[in-house]
């Protein structure tokens, strides 16, 4: 099984992914995201918050394929959520 992504819980039972630790490779990210989502679901987290910096925008399609939705964007990032 792939290593899960670094995250911190928030006060609302959500998992907030550490964007500074995201892998650069989309396929590595996809495997780790799948493993993370499985683990976080088993642990009872209700929402995943995923901030992807512009420099790693190649990861966005992998997150969308795993059920993430756009929440909002800034000049140099996009925030996605999955419930």
- Give the number of domains in the chain: 1
Tell me whether residue 55 is in a domain: yes
In a domain, 1, yes or no: no
Residue 82 has pLDDT above 90, yes or no: yes
Measured between alpha carbons, how far is 66 from 30 in angstroms, rounded to an integer?
A: 8
Instruction: Answer yes or no: is 2 within a domain.
Output: no
Q: What is the mean pLDDT of residues 16-40?
A: 98
Q: What is the pLDDT of residues 41-57, one digit of tens each?
A: 999 999 999 999 999 99
Structure confidence at residue 19 (pLDDT): 97
Residues 6 or more apart whose CB falls under 8 angstroms from that of 22 comprise: 5, 29, 52, 53, 56, 59
Query: Is-contact 48 15, C-beta < 8 A?
Result: yes
Kindly give the residue spans of alpha helices, DSSP state H, lying in 1-83.
26-42, 60-65
- Condensed to tens digits (0 to 9), the pLDDT of residues 3-21 reads 999 999 999 999 999 999 9
pLDDT at 2: 86
Query: pTM, whole model, 2 decimals?
Result: 0.95
Q: Look up the domain containing 19 and give its range.
A: 7-82
CB 67 within 8 A of CB 35: no
In a domain, 32, yes or no: yes
């Amino acid at each position: 099984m792939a290593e899960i992504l670094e995250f911190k819980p928030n006060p609302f039972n959500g998992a907030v992914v550490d964007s500074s630790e995201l892998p650069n490779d989309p396929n590595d990210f996809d495997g780790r995201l799948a493993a993370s989502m499985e683990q976080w679901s088993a642990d009872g987290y209700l929402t995943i918050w995923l901030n992807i910096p512009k420099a790693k925008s190649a990861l966005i399609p992998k997150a969308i394929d795993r059920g993430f939705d756009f929440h909002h964007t800034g000049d140099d990032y996009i925030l996605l959520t999955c419930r």
